[in-house]
Structures are given as C-alpha cells and as structure tokens.
Structure 1
Amino acid sequence: MRIRPPHVVVTALFSLMLANRAWADEVQVAVAANFTAPIQAIAKGFEKDTGHKLVAAFGATGQFYAQIKNGAPFDVFLAADDSTPAKLEQENQIVAGSRFTYAVGTLALWSAKPGYVDAKGEVLRANAFKHLAIANPKAAPYGLAATQVLDKLKLTDATKTKIVEGQNITQAYQFVSTGNAELGFVALSQVYKDGKVSEGSAWIVPAELHEPIRQDAVILNKGKDNPAAKALVDYLKGPEAAALIKSYGYQI
C-alpha cells in the first residue's frame, strides 16, 4: 500500500476545504417585508439546488435604502418598488445591469374576521370600522399604494382619523391579525396561498386604483464578487422561483 507523505495529505484536504468554501457561499439579502413568505419558500430550493446559504433581513424598502447608503452589508436587495433600486443604480450603488423586476405586487384590503370584508370593498365606503391599518407610505410602497386607493375612492378625508400606521407592511398586517385594527391594506401575498385567501376575508384591490407595484431586485456593490449573489438572481429568474412567486398572488 502506498503511503502519502503528510504534507500531500494536508495539501489535498486544504484544496478540498477551499473548493467547498467556494461552492457554499453565503448571500446576505435585504428583502421587502411583503416578500417574507415567498423568499422563505424560495430559499429552501435555492439552498438545495446551489449549495449556497441565503440569509435574509426583512423590512421597509425606504429603511433599507437608508441602511444601504450607510454601508449595510447586503449583497442583494429585493425591493417593494422599482424606484428605489433605480435610485441606487443612478448613485452607482449596484452592479451595472443587475436590476430586474422579480414580481409585481397586489394590494388587498383584509380583515382577520371571515365575512367582514366584501368582494368589492364596500366596507370602506360604509366606514363603520374604528381602525384602518396601512404601512408607512413614505417608507413602504404598499403603504403608498393604499393612500392612492383612498384618494381614488375619495375616502382620504373620511378615513384619516382612523388610520393606524405601521412601520412596514408586516406591522400593518400584525395590527389586523391581532385585532388592533378591524381591517387594513396588506400585501396579498401575506394572506394568499395556492390561489385563495388563506384566512379571514379580503378584497383584492383592482390594479387600476393605484400605481403598479413593480418590485425590482439588484445586486449591490458588496455582492459584486460573491458567487452566491449571482446564483440567487439567476435562481429568481428561473421557473421554480416563478411558480412559487405566482402561488403567493404576485404576477411575474
């Protein structure tokens, strides 16, 4: 039996460790709060298929913009709009050519109570509720879309004293789910799975009542040389991710 010198064994093991390290990179992702459930589902397939690890932070798009400008260590940014990634592109904060629309969001008026919200949203005009939850329109695109709906329906003045504002769309959802608000504007993805509203009652807001919620993704400058960042973007453009994204009520 041939015995390899110790230094040969060590070199081989070191080479194997480097190969594994190169394959199993980690990608730090800033994710708009509305996309929490989809990215968690996508992460499982991504990690299984690529060997890379996805580490996500969730929050409002506007807040992430400020953090990125202040040097936050994110490789990829999945925003809830297209204007914030475009602004980062203009400011040379992203890898050139990496910006694309990964989903088009849908707004829903939702209550945790079954039957409370009708299919046409007439509950808004009835104005019998005490609290209406929305996300901060200055930081969260879904919150801005909610204010546009109220303006379009000429209900801004009638509802302004009833609005409960969350920092992001997750907090708006929590206000409703805990009963602190009878209803609220949320991302459809938060209450929708496999083609139906999974809990409570909801009005899926017609797209013409607000500006399109185009959600863009970018590779940030920090992720330029990270193979896992490019792998995630490629995976988001693939059929497996597309099917999952659609199952949560988004358009592609």
Structure 2
Amino acid sequence: MSAAFADEVHVAVAANFTAPIQAIAKDFEKDTGHKLIAAYGATGQFYSQIKNGAPFEVLLSADDATPAKLEREGDTVPGSRFTYAIGTLALWSAKEGYVDDKGAVLKANQYQHLSIADAKTAPYGLAATQVLSKLNLTDATKDKIVTGQNITQAYQFVSTGNAELGFVALSQIYKDGQITSGSAWIVPANLHDPIKQDSVILNKGKDNAAAKALVEYLKGPKAAAVIKSFGYQL
C-alpha cells in the first residue's frame, strides 16, 4: 500500500460517540488502510483546544453549533460540515427496575443524586437541563445535581453508584435495540432541542486523504448501520 493511502487522521470525538467510533474505526481501517487516532471529551473543551492549536484534523461534535461556529471563524474546510447523527437522551440507573419507562422516578424525587454532564460544554448536559425545565423540576433537583465534565463522567457517576440516576447518551447504554444494563427512560425528543451532531474537517486536515476518507466513510451504509445500532437517528 502506498504512503498516500495510509495516512493517519487525528479526530476529536464527542464523548457520547466513543463506542460507535471505536466500532466504525475497525471497519474504516480495514476498508481504507487509513488509521484513526481518536481523543474523547466534551465538545466545548475541544473547541478551546482547537482554537489553541491542537492537532485535530476532524471534529465529531455533540452539537451542530460548535462546528458552525468554527466554520464562521475560518477554522474548517469549506463545505465539509454535515450531520452524522442525531443523539438521543436517556435517564438511566445502574439498578434494574429503578427507572420506569415513563420517567416517573424523576418527578417522584426520592433520589439523593442526579448526574448530568456540564451544560456549558456538553450538549447532552444542556439537553438534560432543558428536560428538567420542561418538567418544572429545575428547582426541585438543583441541590441533587452532580455535574460531570462530559457525558462519560456523567455516566460514570451513575455506573459507580455515586448517583442513583442520571441523564446519559442512549448510545452509552444501548446496543442493537435494547438497553444493555440497569434501567432507563428514553427521553422523548420533544422535551429538548434536537441533539444534531455535526462533523467537520478542520484546517489541519485539509490536505489529509484520511480525513476526507473518514468523512466519506461516515456517510456510507456501513457506518450508518453502526450508528443506528447505538440508538442514534440519522
């Protein structure tokens, strides 16, 4: 394989998309010969790192606002932005049977701690605060909230039992049509703004064949099947 076909691409990946991109990366590397090197975190933190010169070539954001902002500020390859997934929010407990499928446990307010990601940097955290507001639970829950830096940490607070329940990305607890552990309420999409997750090629990736190949791959049927299997809409 010639060097031109064996580039590496450095990708900033929203924490909620960790499991899907790990699955996609295996096929991507096998099918294209390119290597994907991923970093995982909160979209807002990635924005700061990109502005400070971090070596990322592609951003897989947890929202559509951050890639659009980078585009306006001249930090992206024109025309490369697209929506690769629409995220789903879930209220989850590591305990079986703790969360009912209507989310009544939230309103019953019998828990000590509710985990959410930081609404300032993590779009799933923002969506969680919108749900609490829509359900008139903002005041009732404010002393119970445990804030994770990103959605991975919000998930960890629940999985370790430090919070009885929390708002997580459905993709963290779902595979092939079912909840993989504990109990969950899949939050209706009308309770928060759509979690449109956009991807964009950053300026550092403009001459990188692997960056272009990854974005094309994400639009293809193999990646789409993986993305859907984790509970995202397309």
TM interval, shorter chain, is over 0.9
For 1:10, the equivalent position in structure 2 comes to none
Question: How much has 1:23 moved relative to structure 2?
Answer: 1.2
Counterpart residue identity of residue 2, structure 2: N
1:175 is the counterpart of 2:175 = no
Any residues of structure 2 matched to 1:150-169 within 5 Å, and which?
Answer: 150-169=132-151
Q: Which amino acid aligns with 1:81?
A: D
Shift of 1:20: 2.3
- Residue 29 in 1 paired to residue 29 in 2? no
Post-superposition offset of 1:125: 0.6
What TM-score, normalized to structure 2? 0.99
Q: What is the Cα deviation at residue 22 of structure 1?
A: 1.4
- 1:136-182 deviations in Å (ceiling 9; x for gaps): 00000000000000000000000000000000000000000000000
- Counterpart of 1:203? 185
Structure-1 separation of matches of 2:66 and 2:201: 13
Match of 1:67? 49
CA–CA separation in structure 2 for the residues paired with 1:251 and 1:28: 25
For these two proteins, the number of residue pairs brought into alignment is 234
The one-character-per-residue Cα deviations of 1:73-115 (angstroms, maximum 9, x if unpaired) are: 0010000000000000000100000000000000000000000
Gaps in structure 2 of 5+ consecutive residues? none
Which of these residues, 214, 230, 235, is aligned with residue 217 of structure 2? 235
CA distance in 1, matches of 2:102, 2:116: 19
User: What is the distance in 1 between the residues matched to 2:141 and 2:70?
Assistant: 34
CA RMSD across the alignment: 0.5
Task: Give the C-alpha shift of residue 241 in structure 1.
Answer: 0.1
CA drift at 1:118: 0.2
Q: TM-score, with normalisation over the residues of structure 1?
A: 0.92
Q: Residue in 2 aligned with 1:54?
A: 36
Identity %: 79
Measured in 1, the distance between the counterparts of 2:6 and 2:68 equals: 30
Task: Report what 2:167 is aligned to.
Answer: 185
Which structure 1 residue ranges, 5 or more long, are not aligned? 1-18
* 2:201 counterpart (195, 216, 219): 219
2:109 counterpart of 1:137 = no
1: CA distance, partners of 2:37 / 2:89: 26
Cα distance in 1 for residues equivalent to 2:167 and 2:93 = 9
* Equivalent residue letter for 1:191: I
Q: CA separation in 1, counterparts of 2:80 and 2:2?
A: 26
| SS of alignment partner, residue 62 of structure 1 | helix
